[in-house]
Every structure is written in C-alpha cells, then in structure tokens.
Amino acid sequence: MAKRIDVSGLHVYYGDFKAVEDVSMTIEPRAVTAFIGSSGCGKSTFLRALNRMHEVAPNARVEGKVMLDDQDIYAPDVDPVAVRREIGMVFQRPNPFPTMSIYDNVIAGAKLNNQRLGRTEADDIVERSLHGANLWEEVKDRLSKPGAGLSGGQQQRLCIARAIAVEPAVLLMDEPCSALDPISTLAIEDLIAKLKENYTICIVTHNMQQAARVSDQTAFFNLAGTGKPGRLIEMDETNKIFTKPDKKETENYITGRFG
C-alpha cells in the first residue's frame, strides 16, 4: 500500500518562471514528512508536483525525476489521472462537493475507478473510509445530508475520507488545518498519526508546532531571494531539525529569527 517517493533534481516551472529549483529528497513510506517554510517558498508547488496537480495551471512543467517506488510518474506514457489515483490530496480549505450528500462525497472517487460498484460494496467503502477518517460516529445517522452542512473540521475529515476511499498509496496534505479551529486541528492531527500506519503522508504546514507534533521527517524550504525560485534547504529527522539543524537558515526560521 504505502509507497516510497524518490525525488531527484526536480525543477518546477510556471511558464518562464522557475518556482522550485533542484529538489532531491526521499519520502519514506508509513511516515509523515512535513514541509515547512515561509509563504511563497515553493513548498506547496513542490507538493503539487508530486501528484502532477500543478499541471492544472497552464504552462506548468517540470524537469527532473519523481519515482513512486519503481515507477517514474513523469514518464511520457504515464497518465496524470492514474498518478492522482495513486497519490491523493487534501486541500487547504475543506472542499466537499456542495451538491453531493456525505455518502456520495465519500464514494465519488471510488466510483470513478469502478463504475459498476455494487450497493453493499459501496456501503462498505463508505463506512470503512469514514471510520478511517474518524468521522463515522458523527455522521452515520445523516449520510444522505449534504456534505457542505458539516462543520469545517468535519468537512476536512470528510475530504480525507473521500481521499482514502480511493485507496491511494500516498496522501498529500496542503495546509489541511489552516482554516480550522484548534479542536478540529487536534482531531486532524490525531487522524494523521493514525493514517501513517497505512499511508505515506506529506504535509505542508505553516505551523511549526504542528510539524513538530505530527511529523517524522521535516523538510525546510526557502527562497534564495525575491523573485528567485524556492529551494530545499535542509531535510532531516523532525527532532533534529527543531533542536540542532545543520544550517543557519533553518535555525533562524524555526527560532523566529528569520532573514
């Protein structure tokens, strides 16, 4: 299930603009890897390049290599649609489909893979995914109600349930708690700790305490300067990054003495 991601020499461009420069890293399976860094440092772009979501923007392209176990996700014969079925994503703002019920939201992705999904099979997937997202107890009596009627934190867990219903190998989370209150944030963090038993998880966060709490590995990104591309400064065990980082830049950032 969980797979390792191996990135080597990855550059990401939007048209002529180079957003991310020369990133190489290994993202371990069954672990949480946090990407930290100031706004605009390319960490979200890098995250989106891992499942080719950045291609939604016109003229986006990459150089370099991203391997999912032994499969090159940028190989010419690889369909980005297939990549995204392997590598799911959770976004900054909870985005359940507004016209769908809770049930339909969860099953939406699974239906794409299997058009002739039986009713009992679908019920199983919905229950399993909602359990997996720690949401089942809260919504089991109102599965046919609109997903948009849930609270923000519940919506975000609904989105996680929707993502894991497809049974991906990797879950990418782009600041999943930044629109949530502290209680909901705690619920998501607990969930991340549980999910890492089965998935490879990458999380972008602005909250350094969160990175310290949930992640095993931390990668620090920074800009070389205004208008310059973002670069990976340092990546290591989370403990080490937050106690004795190798680079001065990292230390400045995590201690709040930035720049």
Residues near another protein, by CB under 8 A: 51, 53, 56, 58, 81-82, 84-85, 88-89, 91, 93, 95-100, 108-109, 112-113, 146, 148, 159, 162-163, 166
By DSSP bridging, strand 5-14 and strand 60-68 are antiparallel
Residue with Cβ nearer another protein (33 or 51): 51
Nearest distance from C-beta of residue 1 to another protein, angstroms: 16
Residue with Cβ nearer another protein (108 or 186): 108
Nearest distance from C-beta of residue 58 to another protein, angstroms: 7
Nearest distance from C-beta of residue 163 to another protein, angstroms: 7
Residue with Cβ nearer another protein (58 or 256): 58
Residue with Cβ nearer another protein (126 or 159): 159
Residue with Cβ nearer another protein (29 or 80): 80
Nearest distance from C-beta of residue 43 to another protein, angstroms: 17
Nearest distance from C-beta of residue 137 to another protein, angstroms: 24
Nearest distance from C-beta of residue 148 to another protein, angstroms: 6
**Are 11 and 219 a contacting pair, CB within 8 Å?**
no
Residue with Cβ nearer another protein (162 or 231): 162
**Are 119 and 128 a contacting pair, CB within 8 Å?**
no
